């Protein structure tokens, strides 16, 4: 009996797809935990080490600077050397960095460790998301990639919950608080062993039989391997670490998609992380007495917001989700900068509304960069877009305490609103619609950035 061959992008969901999705979530979860745990630890660190506002800002942005470096370096390396070979190494680095917090004794060593851990996380984004994207069928790609942001916010929320178990009168406890990130990294490190290489990447470098073996073993004999082979072009051979793929990205005309992805991502995450890193401090200025509890309540709505984004991404499309999330988050940020939010409960409601809207749109941070770049430069494009977003986020996080000190709360929140407004304008003119497209088709959507979007039925 001859079975009908099914195209790679139309395969039914199997246990391997679910495994890949779960393992890809490890990086965003650890990322969220890293950003959240510094919120808990910063008050203890500032007191114990007697830090200035500039030093506090640098510690808050250290991992973001590291992620900028990690994305630029390891994105191209992932396209040259493959996804699987680097899949475990970056989490191992994160684990060792977590344990190194027990040895840090001053601001400099603490900054360096957080910087290194940021590099490891910056490497994980292009590696894990490219691997997941290239294995998943098109009906799962949007929801699964957007669900990774749910894992980011779950990690963030879990790390904040750690604060409830920390003795408030022991300022030296910050070593243990920061080192707790070793627990999730160790779990995902063990689970990531024996993950196969992406067949799309194998085909792009001419390893046809290896790709065929992976498809047959993990996706079944009914998968139409020949059609996958036809739609996957060979990549240009690269020397050294593969950084020439950055030049190749621009040469192939993907500069505009990179600009779009970098700007929309930056304008989402810069205000969000800057506000959330110093959320307890901000709430205190609004008269909230239980600042950590209030922060945990607010951050928990990020999980709900991202789930909403995940559920509607295939219904309303990528472009509509992005634009509406920007409209709402921008409006709320400007409202927070006015006297109308001076009442404690009103401020909390506004922060909840901002968190819901921004989190729903953040579901696209792993979707757009992986869909608008082709296989041979996918990790490079993802890494560069992520690096640009982290550079802007690092600047915003570093400047937030300084801004609050010099311009006050209203000035800081007005600047955050202006950044979000820039993201809205850029997205309106540049965001393509890639809903329902195969990976090879969505790569062509880059020609539509700034023009009419192409769209297929999901």
User: Are 140 and 67 contacting, i.e. CB atoms less than 8 angstroms apart?
Assistant: no
What rounded mean pLDDT belongs to the chain?
A: 83
210-243 in b/e burial notation, b at 16+ Cβ within 10 A? ebbebbeebbeeebbbeebbebbeebeebeeebb
User: Are 157 and 299 contacting, i.e. CB atoms less than 8 angstroms apart?
Assistant: yes
* Selected residue with higher pLDDT from 319 and 410: 319
Residue 45: its pLDDT value, please? 85
Query: Within a domain: residue 453?
Result: no
Query: Within a domain: residue 369?
Result: yes
**Owning domain of residue 376:** 8-448
Q: pLDDT of 182-225, one tens digit each?
A: 998 899 888 888 888 889 889 988 899 999 999 999 988 888 88
Query: Within a domain: residue 51?
Result: yes
Structure letter (DSSP) for residue 286: T
- The predicted model gives 299-324 an average pLDDT of 89
% pLDDT > 70, the chain: 93
Question: Residue 445, CB half-sphere, CA atoms under 13 Å: how many?
Answer: 31
Strand-pairing partners, residue 6, are 223
Q: State yes or no: pLDDT of 348 exceeds 80.
A: yes
Query: Within a domain: residue 171?
Result: yes
Q: Who's near 1: CB < 8 A, 6+ residues apart?
A: none
% pLDDT > 90, the chain: 16
- The predicted model gives 124-147 an average pLDDT of 84
10 Å Cβ neighbour count for 94?
A: 30
- The predicted model gives 50-66 an average pLDDT of 80
Measure Cα distances from 296 to 184, 310, 330, 366, 405 in Å: 19, 22, 22, 24, 24
Residue 429, judged by CB atoms within 10 A of its CB (0-12, 13-18, 19+), counts as exposed
Q: State yes or no: pLDDT of 145 exceeds 60.
A: yes
Query: Within a domain: residue 426?
Result: yes
Query: Within a domain: residue 149?
Result: yes
Q: State yes or no: pLDDT of 268 exceeds 70.
A: yes
* Selected residue with higher pLDDT from 121 and 352: 352
- Quickly list H helices, 101-224: 107-135, 138-162, 174-179, 182-191, 199-204, 208-218
Query: Within a domain: residue 128?
Result: yes
Assign 149 to helix, strand or coil: helix
* Selected residue with higher pLDDT from 405 and 218: 218
Query: Within a domain: residue 416?
Result: yes
Q: State yes or no: pLDDT of 448 exceeds 70.
A: no
Residue 286: its pLDDT value, please? 77
Tokens describing residue 384? 């560069």
Residue 245: its pLDDT value, please? 82
**Residue 110 and residue 104: Cα distance in Å, rounded?**
6
452 band by pLDDT with thresholds 50, 70 and 90: very low
- Whether the CA torsion 417, 412, 266, 311 is positive or negative: it is negative
Measure Cα distances from 252 to 84, 211, 255 in Å: 25, 25, 8
**Residue 107 and residue 321: Cα distance in Å, rounded?**
41
Residue 458: its pLDDT value, please? 35
Q: What share of the chain is helix, strand, coil (3-state, %, to 5)?
A: 75, 0, 20
- The predicted model gives 261-279 an average pLDDT of 86
- The predicted model gives 107-113 an average pLDDT of 91
Could you give the number of structural domains in the chain?
Answer: 1
Tokens describing residue 37? 């745990």
Tokens describing residue 112? 């360096």
**Residue 258 and residue 40: Cα distance in Å, rounded?**
34
211: CATH: 1.20.1250.20
- The predicted model gives 45-71 an average pLDDT of 82
User: Are 114 and 59 contacting, i.e. CB atoms less than 8 angstroms apart?
Assistant: yes
| Residue linked to tokens 């779990």 | 187
Q: Who's near 451: CB < 8 A, 6+ residues apart?
A: none
Structure letter (DSSP) for residue 452: P
User: Are 236 and 246 contacting, i.e. CB atoms less than 8 angstroms apart?
Assistant: no
Largest distance between two CA atoms of the chain: 76
- The predicted model gives 312-329 an average pLDDT of 92
User: Are 17 and 137 contacting, i.e. CB atoms less than 8 angstroms apart?
Assistant: yes
Residue 36: its pLDDT value, please? 80
The answer to pTM > 0.75 is: yes
**Residue 92 and residue 77: Cα distance in Å, rounded?**
17
Q: State yes or no: pLDDT of 4 exceeds 60.
A: yes
Residue 457: its pLDDT value, please? 35
Structure letter (DSSP) for residue 446: G
Q: What are phi and psi of 223, to 5 degrees?
A: -70, 130
Residue 123: its pLDDT value, please? 84
**Residue 43 and residue 313: Cα distance in Å, rounded?**
38
């Amino acid at each position: 009996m001859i079975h009908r061959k099914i195209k790679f992008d139309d395969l039914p969901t199997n246990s391997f797809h679910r495994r890949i999705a779960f393992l890809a979530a490890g990086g965003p979860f650890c990322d969220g935990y890293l950003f959240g745990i510094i919120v808990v630890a910063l008050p203890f660190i500032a007191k114990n080490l007697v830090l200035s506002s500039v030093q506090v800002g640098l510690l808050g942005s250290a991992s973001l600077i590291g992620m900028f470096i990690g994305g630029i370096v390891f994105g191209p390396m992932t396209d040259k050397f493959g996804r699987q070979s680097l899949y475990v190494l970056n989490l191992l680095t994160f684990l060792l960095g977590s344990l190194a917090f027990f040895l840090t004794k001053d601001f400099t060593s603490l900054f360096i460790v957080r910087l290194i851990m940021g590099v490891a996380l910056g490497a994980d984004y292009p590696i894990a998301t490219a691997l997941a994207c290239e294995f998943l069928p098109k009906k799962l790609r949007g929801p699964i990639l957007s669900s990774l942001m749910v894992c980011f916010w779950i990690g963030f929320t879990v790390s904040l919950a750690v604060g409830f178990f920390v003795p408030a009168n022991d300022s030296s406890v910050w070593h243990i608080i920061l080192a707790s990130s070793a627990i999730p990294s160790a779990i995902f490190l063990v689970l990531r062993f024996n993950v196969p290489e992406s067949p799309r990447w194998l085909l792009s470098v001419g390893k046809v039989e290896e790709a065929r073996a992976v498809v047959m073993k993990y996706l079944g004999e009914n998968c139409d391997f020949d059609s996958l082979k036809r739609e996957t072009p060979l990549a240009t051979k690269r020397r050294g670490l593969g950084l020439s793929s950055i030049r190749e990205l621009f040469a192939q005309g993907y500069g505009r998609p990179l600009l779009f992805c970098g700007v929309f991502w930056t304008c989402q995450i810069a205000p969000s992380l800057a506000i959330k890193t110093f959320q307890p401090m901000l709430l205190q200025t609004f008269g909230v007495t239980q600042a950590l509890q209030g922060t945990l309540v607010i951050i928990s709505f990020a999980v709900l917001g991202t789930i909403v984004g995940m559920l509607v991404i295939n219904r309303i499309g990528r472009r509509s989700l992005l634009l509406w999330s920007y409209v709402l988050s921008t409006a709320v940020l400007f409202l927070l900068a006015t006297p109308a939010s001076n009442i404690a409960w009103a401020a909390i409601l506004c922060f909840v509304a901002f968190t819901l809207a921004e989190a729903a749109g953040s579901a696209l941070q792993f979707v757009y960069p992986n869909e608008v770049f082709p296989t041979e430069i996918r990790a490079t494009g993802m890494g560069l877009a992520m690096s640009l977003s982290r550079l802007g986020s690092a600047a915003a996080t570093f400047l937030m305490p300084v801004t609050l000190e010099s311009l006050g709360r209203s000035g800081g929140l007005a600047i955050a609103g202006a950044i979000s407004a820039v993201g809205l304008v850029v997205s309106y003119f540049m965001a393509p619609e890639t809903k329902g497209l195969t990976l090879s088709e969505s790569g062509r959507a880059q020609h539509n950035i700034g023009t009419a979007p192409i769209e297929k039925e999901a």
